[in-house]
Each structure stands twice: as C-alpha cells, then as structure tokens.
Amino acid sequence: MDVPKAASKFQELGIFVNYVPYPAVPENEQRFRVSLMANHTNEDIDALVAAVEEVWATCGRRSGD
C-alpha cells in the first residue's frame, strides 16, 4: 500500500490518522496510528470503518503485503 497516498485519502474523507513512514520503521512495516477517544460516537467509528474500506479499495495492497 502507498502509505502517504492512503493517508491523504483518509484526510480527504475527513478522518485524521497519523502514519508512521519509512525511515521511522522499515519500508515494509509502515503503518497508521488511530486514536479513539471517549467522546467519539458510534457514528464516528462507523465513518472510520467506511473510510478504511474505501482507502483499502482505492489504494489497495502491494504484492507481498
């Protein structure tokens, strides 16, 4: 997955996630950090799930992921 592209897509969808890019972690171990708080609603979590599904569909997986 193109992590910076995926992070931009989350931003477009109104979901703020931090991503941990290379060289902070090995290139094949880049990741997203999602922080939930007590004041997030069920609708917020549903929006996150929908965004993850869309980002996954849009940005896809690389071979070997």
Q: Would residue 64 count as lying in a domain?
A: no
Q: Would residue 20 count as lying in a domain?
A: yes
Q: Would residue 50 count as lying in a domain?
A: yes
Q: Would residue 65 count as lying in a domain?
A: no
Adjacent-strand bridge partners of 20: 31
The predicted model scores a pTM of 0.77
Tens of pLDDT along 2-37? 888 898 999 999 999 988 988 999 988 888 999 999
The CATH number covering residue 17 comes to 3.90.1150.10
Domain range for 7: 3-59
For residue 47, name the pLDDT band (cuts at 50, 70, 90): very high
In this prediction, residue 60 carries a pLDDT of: 72
The tally of domains found in the chain comes to 1
How many helices (H) and strands (E) in the chain? Answer: 2, 2
Do residues 47 and 34 lie in contact, with contact meaning Cβ atoms separated by under 8 Å?
Answer: no
Do residues 31 and 18 lie in contact, with contact meaning Cβ atoms separated by under 8 Å?
Answer: no
Q: Would residue 32 count as lying in a domain?
A: yes
Q: Would residue 19 count as lying in a domain?
A: yes
Do residues 47 and 15 lie in contact, with contact meaning Cβ atoms separated by under 8 Å?
Answer: yes
